[in-house]
Amino acid sequence: MITLYSQYFNPNISRRLGRRISREKATRYNDSRLESILKSMNLNYEIKKCKYPRIPYEETSMFLIDGNIKKGTLIKIIENRL
């Protein structure tokens, strides 16, 4: 089970607070785009509303993904497809 927070792709926060991709690619991010990328990869996923631990005052989306892929690899694939 892989957990991805939408904060990983948020261009308005710094890497220190949790962004994991370049700011240039993050500007094209939104939750619906991430959903379409996950669907195109044929991954089973579930979306929940939650709070990211580093920014507990903001509500965010958490994507729970079933798959045999490493989290870092999945983030790089998503970054290339954004």
Containing structural domain, residue 51: 2-81
pTM of the model: 0.88
Per-residue pLDDT tens over the stretch 52-77 = 999 999 999 999 999 889 999 999 99
**Helix residue spans in the chain (DSSP H):** 23-26, 31-40, 71-81
Percent of the chain with pLDDT over 90: 90
CATH number, domain at 29?
Answer: 3.30.56.30
What is the number of domains present in the chain?
1
Output the CA torsion 33→12→14→64 (10° steps): -30
